[in-house]
Amino acid sequence: MIQLPWTSKTSPHFVLEVNRQCNISCRGCYKAQGEGTRSLDDLAKEIDVALTHAKIHTVTLAGGEPTLHPKLCEIVRLLHDRRLKTAISTNGVALSTELLGDLSDAGLDVVMLHLDEGQTRPDLSTEPSVEEIHALRRRLAERIASFGIDVGLSVTIYPEYSDRVKEFVEFVLRTKHVNLLYATHHLERDGPDTSVAFRFQTDNDRRTTNAQIAQTLRESLGLEPFAFLPRQGEDSYDCRSLSYLSYYVPVVQETNRFQVLRMKSSWMDSLLIRLVGLLSGRFPFYVQPRTGMIRTHVLLNGLGSRRLATALRFLTATVRRGATVGAKRLVFDNGPVRTADGRVICTEPCPNRTLADGKLVPVCMSDMENRV
């Protein structure tokens, strides 16, 4: 497993919060809801300031619920004109056919569907089954993909549903239109009101962790983490450093066959990331999987990891008639943790930053009373 070579200046992802309104209730939400929306001019100024602080590649529009912003398409177009990859993080309730068409025309790259067990929403029952949740995910993913927009899945991992991790990872691996998974671990709040700062758990609290995720996916699916980022103050890989885990999983789907390549990262992958960053002037964050790119990556990884025979067998499957080649990226964010001496530490550098008081700060800390 390689450590991503990002720094605070080169961390390529930025979260632009466009409003505080929402149309559902999420158990894991830590945002204080409010009325009104931010103006296009205000958002344009914020992204321009953020670009002076970091070499941003991808911007995710968040809220609240960004689809409730009346000028969402104009915001997407603004970012597209700045040659930034653009995503929206949405629960999908208001994603109408008309809105998807407009977003596609504006240049939207990816929709991250936030849809899991901890939500009260009009399109799911009170206690939905796994099958019901997957069916809704699949319907929304197919609708989004029909407009040429890539699809990702965003979930919160709750302790009582931790046994479902393998199931939603398999769902992403096998679902044609879903290429991304972003999973965060649930953090309890000090009170039921989202305006109350949530209680950052310590290592001793009962909560799911990335170390558990890595073990589960290794034992159940044979998957190994591809890359990681450590916590603040930690610069080597160990169980405590599993703050941000990223998996890269090439897949081949045929009518009666499904094949996964269980890649292990190597020095070659680290070199490729650094080379792309050097040539383009910024590290990539979101990249739409394309067949030629996937095949090249598989070949180079096979050379670097000394698993060329395994890579060649997979590449042979990709050229069979009717085969569909894809690559899934799975990301697990461990979230902030309070240390024994009372400090709150996050991933370093944080891959999900926003602007607060003119500075880039972790999103989860941006409006907390105990910001560090």
Mean pLDDT computed over 290-310: 95
Is the pLDDT score of 195 beyond 70?
no
| CA neighbor of 24 nearest in space, from 194, 199, 182 | 194
Beta pairing class for 2-3 and 227-229:
parallel
Structure tokens at 316: 């042979």
pLDDT-derived band of residue 36, with 50, 70 and 90 as boundaries?
A: confident
Q: Given this model, what pLDDT does residue 310 score?
A: 95
Specify the higher pLDDT residue, 273 or 209.
273
Is the pLDDT score of 191 beyond 50?
no
Ranges assigned E (strand) in 91-191:
110-114, 119-120, 150-157, 178-185
Beta pairing class for 2-3 and 13-17:
unpaired
- Computed over every residue of the chain, the mean pLDDT equals 88
Contact (Cβ atoms closer than 8 angstroms) between residue 212 and residue 226 = no
Q: Given this model, what pLDDT does residue 233 score?
A: 66
Residue 239 CB neighbour total at 10 angstroms: 11
Which residue pairs from 263-266 have beta carbons closer than 8 angstroms and sit at least 24 positions apart in sequence?
Answer: 263/224, 263/226, 263/298, 263/301, 263/305, 264/1, 264/224, 264/226, 264/301, 264/305, 264/307, 265/1, 265/2, 265/226, 265/227, 265/301, 265/305, 266/2, 266/301, 266/304, 266/305, 266/306
For 65-86, the pLDDT digits (tens) are: 999 999 999 999 999 999 999 9
Q: Given this model, what pLDDT does residue 324 score?
A: 92
Domain spanning 2-246+331-365, CATH class = alpha beta
Alpha-carbon distance of 12 to 350, in angstroms, equals 10
Could you give the percent of the chain with pLDDT greater than 90? 67
Q: Given this model, what pLDDT does residue 206 score?
A: 67
Contact (Cβ atoms closer than 8 angstroms) between residue 265 and residue 2 = yes
Specify the higher pLDDT residue, 368 or 86.
86
Q: Given this model, what pLDDT does residue 196 score?
A: 36
Give the domain ranges of the chain.
2-246+331-365
Contact (Cβ atoms closer than 8 angstroms) between residue 325 and residue 298 = no
Q: Given this model, what pLDDT does residue 344 score?
A: 76
pTM to 2 decimal places: 0.91
pLDDT-derived band of residue 189, with 50, 70 and 90 as boundaries?
A: low
Alpha-carbon distance of 310 to 288, in angstroms, equals 24
Specify the higher pLDDT residue, 242 or 85.
85
Is the pLDDT score of 371 beyond 50?
no
Q: Given this model, what pLDDT does residue 205 score?
A: 57
